[in-house]
């Protein structure tokens, strides 16, 4: 595979889905030499076709709008996509997670888990909500 073909493959991959630098490198390594991958990724980074910061920001905003994950769940999802911890910390510090309790309560309502509190707590924990958030959401339900 020559340089132009590696670049074309990278552009096709990025056209289908936003990828982190790590994800793109993994996919390109299956078809190209490491030196070709490095040059292609450098080219894409220089021209801002590839940006972990922008991807991180988009994913955080997406999950905040959907309210489907807690802050820990978002952080774990970003790590799995290969985004570095400093970028994650920087981007997450710019987001207001004050509505996390509301997201958790809405998730429980959508899943109809308000009656089974132990199951509800496990569900929220699996979605990356912190223990304090879970306690703030579950505690009032215990008295109802």
Please provide residue 47's backbone torsions phi and psi, each rounded to the nearest 5 degrees: -95, 5
Separation of CA 138 from chain center: 25
Global pTM? 0.89
Q: Are 71 and 101 a contacting pair, CB within 8 Å?
A: no
The per-residue pLDDT string of the chain (144 residues; one tens digit each, 9 = 90 and over) reads: 899 999 999 999 999 999 999 999 999 999 999 999 999 999 999 999 999 999 999 999 999 999 999 999 999 999 999 999 999 999 999 988 889 999 999 999 999 988 889 999 999 999 999 999 999 999 887 776
For the chain, give every domain's residue range.
3-46, 52-93, 100-143
C-alpha torsion angle, residues 124, 126, 130, 131 (rounded to 10): 70
């Amino acid at each position: 595979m020559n340089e132009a073909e590696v670049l074309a493959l990278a552009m096709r991959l990025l056209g289908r889905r936003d990828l982190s630098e790590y994800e793109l490198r993994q996919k390109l390594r299956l078809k190209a030499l490491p030196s070709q991958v490095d040059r292609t990724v450098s080219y894409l980074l220089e021209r801002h076709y590839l940006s972990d910061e922008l991807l991180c920001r988009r994913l955080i905003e997406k999950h905040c709008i959907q309210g489907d994950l807690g802050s820990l769940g978002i952080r774990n999802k970003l790590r799995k996509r290969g985004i570095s911890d400093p970028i994650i910390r920087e981007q997450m510090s710019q987001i207001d997670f004050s509505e996390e309790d509301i997201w958790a309560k809405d998730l429980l309502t959508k899943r109809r888990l308000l009656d089974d509190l132990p199951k509800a707590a496990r569900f929220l924990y699996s979605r990356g909500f912190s223990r304090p958030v879970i306690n703030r959401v579950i505690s009032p339900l215990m008295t109802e």
